[in-house]
Structure 1
Amino acid sequence: MPSPADSFTDVLDGPVYVVTAEAGGERSGCLVGFASQCSIHPPRFMVWLSALNHTYGVARRASHLAVHVLRRDQQDVAALFGGETGDRVDKFEQVAWRRSTDGSPVLDEACAWFVGRIERTVRGGDHLGFLLTPTEQSPPVEGDPALLSYRDVKDLEPGHPA
């Protein structure tokens, strides 16, 4: 049965993000639809990860997370990070990436990215929120790129249930 909020959330079409983490020599990353800036002064960003997701376990042990936005023409990267699971696939073998200053995996082809220190976590139903303070970021984006949004990936079969 649909919730009362479904008619509201069905019209939303915000950006999707690829969130990556590294802890104890293990890397992971996933496609995320629940994330937002949540403070200007000081700058803060909240990312919500499903407790069923492989990346959740790595993120719980990490000190930082990397958050990436993709261009609309990067649906293959979204399909990799959203349609495969780190339980079975090393997604980083299939993309170009590098380590940030703190060791977080940063995707080379992302339109823009930032790395954030995890300040705290907040339980939010079936997802856990990671409150991030930005510590490193990509160079400024030129122009007005068409970003990958929820509608672009809504038919993607997830690697894990949400």
Structure 2
Amino acid sequence: MSGQDYRQLRDAFGAFMTGVTVVTTLDDDGAPIGFTANSFSSVSLDPPLLLVSLAKTSRNFQHFAAAKSFAVNILAEHQKAISNTFGRPVADRFSGIDWRTEQSGAPILPEVSAWFDCRMERVIDAGDHAIMLGRIEAFDANNEPGLGYYRGTYFTPAKSGVAAAGGPAVLVSAILEQDGRVLLVERNDGALSLPEARAARSGTSTALGELIAASGLEASPGFIYAVYEDPDEGKQHIAFLCPSSNGQPKQGHFHALTPDTLHRVADEALRTMLTRLADESRLGNFGVYFGNQRSGQVRRVAQE
């Protein structure tokens, strides 16, 4: 691929909204080392496995590739500075950080949302990166909202209203889009609406996955398109824009977002959101809405 192709591929990867982690271990001299990564994923519950990838060009690559253990620290919403420090070529990234250790000796950072202490299971060659597969030996988590990353910039979900622990009921909607059309279902009163489900303790990601599975479509989870409160109903709405490539819906039909279609959407907040989607689809410039059912703001995430 050309340099432009690489840039476009990187931008495409950036469309996936992730969390931010700092991966740590000790070098041969016992000194702490670490790097910022959003290429982190859970792999298995039984056995408990996770993975994170590291560029072979990293100055820490040889140390991590030879390490017997490492830790993954999921940064909290207020820890942008730590992310920036571990993402730059700083001489002592641990300066001023009161880190500690658990079973493996890998550094655990303070005030993180969660941490995982791992034994190195395997290092897998993967092109210009290596995948570190870790077996989780110990872990902990709290209710501190995590720091997000999307299209090259940080994203703080709790401050934007995404995290609502102990707050109103959370309703997850799936904007399943295919060839410029959106899947809408017909309510008992004949009005059109999006597929939606209440998020249980398992969280919004699980609810979204269940909505996609129930639709019968092949679709990617997509990204958050709107977050808004409805204090009158005591609910919080989170809508995900999910591209769909194949399959026929088990319920509802795909509709072009024409004025006639939008007129059949009775919920005013939903109608406004779908009208915005129709406009942004024509321009190819999407934003994320934050606010309530009546007013708010659209943030062009890449410009934050």
Shorter-chain TM band: 0.7 to 0.9
Aligned to 1:159: none
What is the match of residue 2 of structure 1?
5
Deviation at 1:110, TM superposition (A): 1.5
Shift of 1:51: 1.2
Aligned length: 149
Map 1:6-155 → 2, pairs under 5 A: 8-24=12-28, 25-85=30-90, 89-138=91-140, 140-142=141-143, 145-151=144-150, 154=152
- 1:80 is paired with a residue whose SS is helix
Q: By how many angstroms is 1:35 displaced?
A: 1.5
Gaps of 5+ in 2: 155-304
Unpaired segments ≥5 residues, structure 1: 157-162
Residue 292 of structure 2: aligned partner:
none
Q: Say if 2:119 and 2:137, in contact at 8 Å, map to a contact too.
A: yes
SS in structure 2 of the partner of residue 150 of structure 1: strand
CA contact (8 A) 2:74 2:113 kept: yes
Q: Is the 8 A contact 1:28 1:54 kept in 2?
A: no
Give me the whole-angstrom Cα distance separating, in 2, the residues matched to 1:61 and 1:52: 15
Partner of 1:160: none
Highest relative contact order (Cα 8 Å, sep 6+), 1 or 2? 1
TM-score, structure 2 length as denominator?
0.45
Q: Give the drift of 1:47.
A: 0.8
SS of alignment partner, residue 122 of structure 2: strand
**Distance change in 2, residues 1:8/1:16 (3 Å):** same
Structure-2 separation of matches of 1:104 and 1:84: 20
* % identical aligned pairs: 26
Question: Any idea what the Cα deviations from partners look like across 1:17-41, whole Å, max 9, x if unmatched?
Answer: 1000113213210001211111222
Contact 1:118–1:133 (CA<8 Å) still a contact in 2?
A: yes
> Per-residue deviation at 1:5?
4.9
Partners of 1:98 and 1:78 in 2: how far apart?
18
Secondary structure of the 2:81 match is helix
- Aligned-residue CA RMSD in angstroms? 2.1
Larger Rg: 2
CA contact (8 A) 1:96 1:109 kept: no
SS in 1 for 2:82: helix
SS at match of 1:54: coil
C-alpha separation in 1, matches of 2:153 and 2:89: 14
